[in-house]
Structure 1
């Protein structure tokens, strides 16, 4: 496997993962918005600046994404008790429940769609489980 194949595989796995965890109602989120929600999910009570640093996105992009996500009820905002000028962001309870429901689903149905042969799909699932065990902390 070379670097290009590894990148292509990573993108394909990302696409399959998105298909699993994103419900049809949120499928119209941009990849940037998905990255912002994912970052805030992992780092609750965070600021736009912190999101910008962790994601590498321009602050203007993060600010626009946050505004859209707040309008849709995916992010909640509250004033920072230590600095009233800052706003802290967290994933809304509704979005958190929805995310938990989607990430808890098994991957087999998505893999079976991508690899129609049942035996090969089972083998792919086994290989992915092994890779996860080896590569993920």
Structure 2
């Protein structure tokens, strides 16, 4: 595989991932996949700091901070100072807005199936993606 093929594959995976990302209930509240990614992380890891979210998502801290501000304006998250270190901000889902995050059971399967010429290849593609993820993504 050369650099161009790797780049094309990466862009294709980004498009598929964006399609498979959970949505926010109302159409007027739709946000970019990168912002929704931050919200999914906050939902899965409540009371995380901006730095922890950045480390898990791979986004720059500035993007995470801007996403949190946008999600806070939308009412999806709430923030508070870390009682152990007042310089850090902790983020958690807004309990009254949780119902707006719509997550399906296997969110990537439908997007992958739509992209495949042969649906029987889904298990092989899923296995290959899991292998790539395990070798290339370094989470804290």
The TM-score normalised by the length of structure 1 is: 0.66
Q: Pick closer, same or farther for the CA change 1:110–1:35 going to 2, 3 Å.
A: closer
Cα deviation digits, residues 24-78 of structure 1 (max 9, x gap): 738842354234335534543223354456645253x443322111121222212
1:5 alignment partner, SS class:
helix
The structure number with the bigger radius of gyration is 1
Unpaired runs of 5+ in structure 2? 135-140
CA contact (8 A) 2:41 2:53 kept: yes
Cα deviation digits, residues 57-112 of structure 1 (max 9, x gap): 253x443322111121222212311234542112344448835x33x235443334
Aligned to 1:11: 11
Which structure is higher in strand share? 2
RMSD of equivalent CA atoms:
3.4
Q: Pick closer, same or farther for the CA change 1:49–1:79 going to 2, 3 Å.
A: same
Q: 1: CA distance between counterparts of 2:124 and 2:35?
A: 30
Unpaired runs of 5+ in structure 1? none
The TM-score normalised by the length of structure 2 is: 0.64
Which structure would you say has the larger RCO, counting Cα contacts within 8 Å and 6 or more residues apart?
A: 2
